[in-house]
Amino acid sequence: LIDIDRFKSINDRLGHDGGDLALKTVAAELRKVQRNGDVLARWGGEEFLVIAHGLDFAGAAALSERLRSSIERLSDDDPITVSVGFAPCPFFASDAANKTGWKNALGFADHALYAAKHSGRNGWVGLWPRHHIDHASNSAAVLADPQRALRRDDIEVRASAGTVVWKGGSGA
């Protein structure tokens, strides 16, 4: 998931036409950077969804950085930045047979996106399961307390910033 940082202020400064232009500019740049076969969609408001097949954690982090940095380089005068959150689909191996497993992955990506926002914006955060965690009932516990999941070695987190700040404002 990709969210344009401080989009409301873009609309406030430039009007809705300026906001629409910013959305079109970001979408065009994301299309340039995405890989062949990836899917790009506007996910609502100022959010975009990228579905990228066949990536491991390092590849997803590298793609997130390419997407983020390409938007940052669009303009020196009035820069647009984005925050990115990502997770694999399926998140849990048991989700592979479940037709709603994409919802788990989307929930983790959304949680990672908000962690990127809380960590200062203009960055990315990725959540990835450890191999030994394989049950969808764990998703609520992981989302409720990602730091506990990290301590238990249930998930791995990578981020463009040195410290990840979760909802409550605490870093990890």
How far is residue 148's CA from residue 34's CA, in Å, rounded to a whole number?
33
How far is residue 99's CA from residue 166's CA, in Å, rounded to a whole number?
29
Which listed residue (29, 46, 72, 156) is catalytic? Answer: 46
3-state secondary structure at position 54: coil
> How does DSSP classify residue 35?
P
Helix residue spans in the chain (DSSP H): 7-33, 57-72, 101-118, 138-144, 146-151
Active site (annotated) includes residue 65? no
Residues recognised as catalytic: 46
